[in-house]
Amino acid sequence: MNILMCGDVVGRAGRDAIKAHLPQLKRDLAIDLAIVNGENAAHGFGINERLAGELYDAGADVLTTGNHVWDQRELIQQIERDPKLLRPANFPPGTPGSGHYLHEIGAKLSVLVINMMGRLFMDSLDDPFACLTALLRDYRMGDGATAIVLDFHGEATSEKMAMGHFADGRVSAVLGTHTHVPTADHQILPGGTAFVSDCGMCGDYDSVIGMQKEPSVRRFITKVPGEKAKPAEGEATLCGMFIQTDDTSGLALRIEPVRIGGRLSRAVPQL
**Boundaries of domain holding 213:** 2-260
Cβ atoms of 12 and 250 within 8 Å: the answer is no
40 falls within a domain: yes
What pLDDT, on a 0 to 100 scale, did the predictor assign at position 237?
98
DSSP, collapsed to helix, strand or coil, labels residue 3 as strand
Cβ atoms of 79 and 96 within 8 Å: the answer is yes
What pLDDT, on a 0 to 100 scale, did the predictor assign at position 56?
98
Nearest Cα to Cα of residue 196 among 185, 182, 212, 207 = 185
pLDDT at 7 over 90: yes
71 falls within a domain: yes
DSSP assignment string, 247-264: TTT--EEEEEEEEESSSS
Q: Give dist(CA 220, CA 130) in Å, integer.
A: 37
pLDDT at 102 over 80: yes
Q: Is 68 a catalytic residue?
A: yes
Report, as an integer, the average pLDDT of 76-97.
Answer: 96
State the Cα torsion 221-224-225-231 to the nearest 10°.
Answer: -20
What pLDDT, on a 0 to 100 scale, did the predictor assign at position 107?
87
The enclosing domain of 65 has a CATH number of 3.60.21.10
Any bridge partners for residue 129, and if so which? none
60 falls within a domain: yes
127 falls within a domain: yes
243 falls within a domain: yes
- The total of structural domains in the chain comes to 1
Over residues 186-244, the pLDDT tens digits come to 999 999 999 999 999 999 999 999 999 999 999 899 988 877 889 999 999 999 999 99
List the alpha helices (DSSP H) in the chain: 11-28, 49-58, 75-81, 128-138, 157-167, 213-222
271 falls within a domain: no
DSSP assignment string, 153-188: E-S-HHHHHHHHHHHBTTBSEEEEESSSS--S--EE
266 falls within a domain: no
- Check 21, 43, 68, 100 and give the catalytic one: 68
Cβ atoms of 117 and 67 within 8 Å: the answer is yes
Q: Residues of the chain with pLDDT > 70: what percent?
A: 100
Nearest Cα to Cα of residue 139 among 92, 184, 102, 185 = 102
Q: Give dist(CA 211, CA 37) in Å, integer.
A: 17
Taking the CA of residue 223 as centre, how many other CA atoms within 13 Å lie in the half-sphere pointing to its CB?
0
Report, as an integer, the average pLDDT of 87-116.
Answer: 96
What pLDDT, on a 0 to 100 scale, did the predictor assign at position 143?
87
Over residues 114-170, the pLDDT tens digits come to 999 999 999 999 999 999 999 999 999 988 899 999 999 999 999 999 999 999 999
Q: Give dist(CA 115, CA 225) in Å, integer.
A: 32
6 falls within a domain: yes
pLDDT at 86 over 90: yes
Give Cβ neighbours of residue 8 (< 8 Å, ≥ 6 apart). Answer: 14, 37, 38, 39, 40, 66, 177, 178, 180, 199, 201, 202, 203, 210
Which strands form 109-117's sheet, in the order they lie side by side?
100-105, 109-117, 147-153, 173-177, 194-196, 187-188
Over residues 23-70, the pLDDT tens digits come to 999 999 999 999 999 999 999 999 999 999 999 999 999 999 999 999
Cβ atoms of 82 and 117 within 8 Å: the answer is no
The better pLDDT of the pair 96, 143 is held by 96
Q: Give dist(CA 77, CA 72) in Å, integer.
A: 10
- Cα 182 to Cα 59, 64, 193, distances in angstroms: 22, 17, 19
